[in-house]
A and B are shown apart, each in its own frame.
Chain A
């Protein structure tokens, strides 16, 4: 870990490599995300996009290359020491992540879920954490669900709680790992709306998604990955409307690329 001077990009990935056994899932990946930028990562399953996302907050530890978020940089590979448990935890506290399967804590109420990070990690006083958590829940339109347990919520509501939980850490960047893939189609819109709202507030985000129309609408850059490499990268609309690479064209042909976002039912 080392301090680097202020840079225009919030996230900087260089020469990133990762293998699981003999399977090389990331081959020399470079990625920059500007402050306030929204990058959508698309690609077929097994392309490495989720692994790349998980390397950004080091939930997956890369084999080589470097990862920088804000002023904190880690280098991996030859001779580089693996970061210590405490260092890693500190680093992750500044990056929020939202998972495909929500991963809410089932033994805690919605409010307790959102308070957990501030109380346990940031050592915030309970009363302050509760105020913060209620604000975040209100932001995702779920203030009235504060005392319910996750099991009583719909998928879309669960995912919005998960977003509130991540936001309660007041992160510099937000990472979304197929946040709408496990949702019933009619619940996708309410989650995408929250993400869109975050984008308009200037949150730096990396979004792994299959919602091409959404990516076109919300992301300013789009990265298409296949087999562990970046095949094509550019402004989201340009790549989606006029893909240069044949692999990108082939992948995008499976989707409706334009059109309105799915309607939001419950977000207010």
Chain B
């Protein structure tokens, strides 16, 4: 029978905290950047101009339909050769993860916008609003409310996806725990603790999302 000894992890606490800090910070960056890409993708795919629609669609499908692990490796090893720019592992993985997240956000945002009744933008237009004004004042405020649960969900997935950046030696929680596991010869304790750490952050978040969904259902 295996003798668990979690006490041994205490000496690696700064390593873990460091890794956790990188993971959380990294998530914030890729969620924010991802939302920017998502907005661009959504507006592109709803554009009056065919070229923009095509561009947005290509972006969305390219990142939605390839595995994130492949994208990470490709951005770090292949893109520098093609584009001639060296990227640090952090830049490469931040870019890949935000574009990946952005492709999903695009679809969520687009879906939210087109779910708003056409009569709403017509009423805006009839008052003399430009399409931009009616989007900002009338459509988006209603659409965002509907998007929030799905956006939160996707962001939770993004949080977990950051664990993949360890393959590019970005010192996140998973990478640091690998270091700790090799050093202590205690992989079982280490990875169990890591799994608990992810869950401890995400379970409260999912509860908040579920509450939000319920409140939304009431106000609709």
- Judged by a CB distance under 8 angstroms, whether A86 is at the interface is yes
Bound CA–CA A166/B145 (angstroms):
26
Bound CA–CA A81/B10 (angstroms):
74
Q: Which of B94-102, B133-141, B188-196, B207-215 contacts A (4 or more CB under 8 A)?
A: B133-141
How many residues on B have C-beta within 8 angstroms of the other chain's C-beta atoms? Answer: 18
* Shortest Cβ distance from residue B45 to the other chain A in the assembled complex, whole angstroms: 20
CB of A59 within 8 A of CB of B126, answer yes
CB of A165 within 8 A of CB of B127, answer yes
- Judged by a CB distance under 8 angstroms, whether B123 is at the interface is yes
CB of B125 within 8 A of CB of A99, answer no
How many residues on A have C-beta within 8 angstroms of the other chain's C-beta atoms? Answer: 29
CB of B128 within 8 A of CB of A116, answer no
* Shortest Cβ distance from residue B49 to the other chain A in the assembled complex, whole angstroms: 13
* Shortest Cβ distance from residue B78 to the other chain A in the assembled complex, whole angstroms: 42
CB-defined interface of A149-181 with B at 8 Å, one 1/0 digit per residue? 000000000000010011001000000000000
- Judged by a CB distance under 8 angstroms, whether A62 is at the interface is no
CB-defined interface of A109-129 with B at 8 Å, one 1/0 digit per residue? 000000011001110000000
- Judged by a CB distance under 8 angstroms, whether B119 is at the interface is yes
CB of B126 within 8 A of CB of A57, answer yes
From B122, B127, B145, A169 is in contact (CB under 8 Å) with: B127
From B123, B126, B131, B145, A105 is in contact (CB under 8 Å) with: B123
- Interface residues in B119-167 by Cβ distance below 8 A to A read 119-120, 122-123, 125-131, 133, 137-138, 141-142, 145
Bound CA–CA A59/B118 (angstroms):
12
Which chain A residues lie closer than 8 Å to B138 at the CB level? 105, 116
- Judged by a CB distance under 8 angstroms, whether A107 is at the interface is yes
Bound CA–CA A93/B122 (angstroms):
13
Bound CA–CA A27/B42 (angstroms):
38
Q: List 28 A-B contacts (CB under 8 A).
A: A57-B126, A59-B122, A86-B130, A89-B125, A89-B128, A89-B130, A91-B128, A92-B128, A97-B123, A97-B126, A99-B119, A99-B126, A101-B119, A103-B117, A103-B122, A103-B123, A104-B123, A105-B142, A107-B142, A116-B137, A116-B138, A117-B127, A120-B127, A120-B133, A121-B128, A165-B127, A166-B127, A169-B127
Q: Which residues of B contact A (CB under 8 A)?
A: 117, 119-120, 122-123, 125-131, 133, 137-138, 141-142, 145
A99-B119, A120-B127 given. 11 additional CB < 8 A pairs?
Answer: A85-B130, A86-B130, A89-B128, A92-B128, A101-B119, A106-B142, A107-B142, A117-B128, A120-B133, A166-B126, A169-B128
